[in-house]
Amino acid sequence: MVRAEHRFTKKAILMSKLWMNKVWSWDHCFNALAIACLDQQLGLDQLTVVFDHQARDGRLPDSVDWQNVEWGFTKPPIQGWALSRLLTQFPDMSDAKLQPLYDATVRLTDFWMDTRRGNTSRLPFWAHGNDSGWDNSTAFDSTPMIVGPDLAASLLLQASCLEQVARRLRHENECEKWANMRSLLINALIEELWYGKSFLLKNAITGETFTTAALP
């Protein structure tokens, strides 16, 4: 753990002392869940230390370190999944702590749904293997831009979490948005990518579907 200084707005848990001495914008979720059982605020800080660098369009940086905020890629949107688990662990979390986490996760979800969908699918796409967390997966050999079931599943969980939190924060007018998004993602996932026994991938540019032994 390093102190809050330079690019780190909060005390931050790094992934390693050497080479991987950064905070990546999905690893921070695992760190948050691991430490929150001992220190709730420190756990929440592991989420916000990345959210504090969120772009205007809702995108999160690839990573944050002592000196730099890297924007070459981004990472899978698992923040909603992490927030759901934190709420299970801390059902009495205050609205004052929950509201900024909700707002940041809303912006992140809107980024994926607004800027990472093309004309060939109702589902968002990975722009590069590094975005997916499967950096060197052979699924990206033919094209870096892939519509995959893993991204849709992560956003589906995120929409479900946001609906739950919106209701808890008494944002009743926003609940319908997340319920509709969840339905859209479920229907599109099954109609576009389910192939009876397994999921397919889709080329985000051509719309061609294909299988892989290394499904991202």
Q: For the chain, what is the largest distance between any 2 Cα atoms, rounded to a whole number of angstroms?
A: 52
How much is the average pLDDT of 81-89?
Answer: 98
pLDDT of residue 216: 47
Kindly report, residue by residue over 164-209, the tens digit of the pLDDT.
999 999 999 999 999 999 999 999 999 999 999 899 999 999 999 9
Can you give the pLDDT at residue 104?
99
Q: Determine which of 51-55, 133-137, 152-156 has the lowest per-residue pLDDT on average.
A: 133-137
Q: Name the residue with tokens 């504090």.
A: 52
What is the per-residue pLDDT across 5-62, written as a single tens digit (0 to 9) for each?
Answer: 999 999 999 999 888 999 999 999 999 999 999 999 999 999 999 999 999 999 999 9
Contact 133, 26 (CB under 8 A): yes
Helical H segments across 4-73, by residue range:
27-36, 40-51
| Cβ count within 10 A of residue 102 | 21
Contact 101, 83 (CB under 8 A): yes
What are the structural domain ranges in the chain? Answer: 1-75, 76-216
Structure tokens at 112: 């994926």
